[in-house]
Amino acid sequence: MLGGLFGKKKGRSVPDKAARLSPAITSSIMATVGSRGIPPMPSAAQKAFRLSVDPRAEARDFIDIIESDEALSARVIKIANSVYYERGKKSETIEESVLVIGINELRNLLSATTLTEIFPSSHPARSQLWANDIATAIAAKIIARKVLPSKEEAAFLAGLMHDIGKLMLLQRAGPDYQRIIDLVQSKGCDFCEAEEEVFPFNHTEVGQLIGEKWSFTEELIDAIRNHHRPWSATASGGPIRLPELVKAADLAAHALGLGHPRGFGRFKNSAIAALEEAWTQLQIAEPQRRGLAQEIQRTYDLEYDLYSN
């Protein structure tokens, strides 16, 4: 677990902390996102995120927060009665639904349900970005199960949150962000490279600023800020951490084309090429790579509707 989404944790090693943004980058981001700046995290989202990362949370805690939100209550009951959880008996109450779904899955559902309401936009690319968030979260959880089991739930949340900077930029600077999407589509380059052709910053820096504003843990901010960091920037032979795991999960999602609209073939091919190095860096042997990719694809196909709007 992350040990709590909010608040700074003492005793972290230096590599777990993202470097502070320069005043110039911060000013540029704030000028781009507009006079409203970065809003406070919605209170409902705070409650849901706190619960989703609390290892001491019990079923009653989940029931209380779900029952306080009519839309969330309806969604949880609907999910409990979906084909995914088919058990031959219809769930009619929140209590029954929580028992059917299970606490670990509820953590993921609460995180996903909350994030989908953050920085909403009518831009058609919003669904594309959200699909990648879901795919990366699922891939991160599966990869973590293989190489970093103690971080399985943290990996899901970090994967889900890794591109929060994109969501804000799309909401606040939609026309400029469309230019970025067009560059990615035509050149096959990654989003950071395209963003830096349009802005003097990229989405990982925006994500870091949001994470600091909303008091995310240093570990989560590190994953958001550094999931595009070159492999050469990691300690050779050092322990695998969330940024590396999320980087690999993001590449796997793109290499599989999960959530991609038409026209992203060059971008997908770039991800396929880069994924081989990711598997090597995570010390995943070649015979296991195909099976891992198939598991990510299969799980995404099965679970996407659980996390989608």
Which residue is it, tokens 């949880």? 76
Question: What band does 3 get if pLDDT is binned at 50, 70 and 90?
Answer: very low
CA 74 to chain CA centroid, nearest Å? 24
> Does the pLDDT value for residue 21 go beyond 90?
yes
Three-state SS sequence of 120-165: CCCCCHHHHHHHHHHHHHHHHHHHHHHHCHHHHHHHHHHHHHCCHH
What are the pLDDT digits (tens) for 43-93?
777 877 788 778 888 889 989 888 888 888 888 898 888 877 876 688 999
In this predicted structure, what is the pLDDT of residue 43? 76
Residue type, 291: G
What are the pLDDT digits (tens) for 254-265?
999 998 988 899
What are the pLDDT digits (tens) for 177-211?
999 999 999 999 999 999 999 999 999 999 999 99
Three-state SS sequence of 265-277: HHHHHHHHHHHHH
> Does the pLDDT value for residue 116 go beyond 50?
yes
Cα–Cα–Cα angle for 157, 158, 161, nearest 5°? 85
> Does the pLDDT value for residue 9 go beyond 60?
no
In this predicted structure, what is the pLDDT of residue 166? 97
Which residue is it, tokens 């936009």? 121
Exposure b/e, 90-129, CB count within 10 A at least 16 = b: ebeebeebbebbeeebbbbbbbbbbbbebbebebebbebb
In this predicted structure, what is the pLDDT of residue 308? 77
What are the pLDDT digits (tens) for 262-303?
889 999 999 999 999 999 999 999 999 999 999 999 999 988
Residue 135: count other Cβ atoms within 10 Å of its Cβ. Answer: 27
d(CA 34, CA 124): 21
In this predicted structure, what is the pLDDT of residue 309? 60
Question: What band does 41 get if pLDDT is binned at 50, 70 and 90?
Answer: confident
Q: Are 261 and 177 in contact (CB under 8 A)?
A: no
Q: What is the mean pLDDT of the chain?
A: 88
For residue 211, which phi and psi values (nearest 5 degrees)?
Answer: -60, -40
d(CA 278, CA 27): 34
What are the pLDDT digits (tens) for 136-161?
999 999 999 999 998 988 899 999 99
Q: Are 132 and 163 in contact (CB under 8 A)?
A: yes
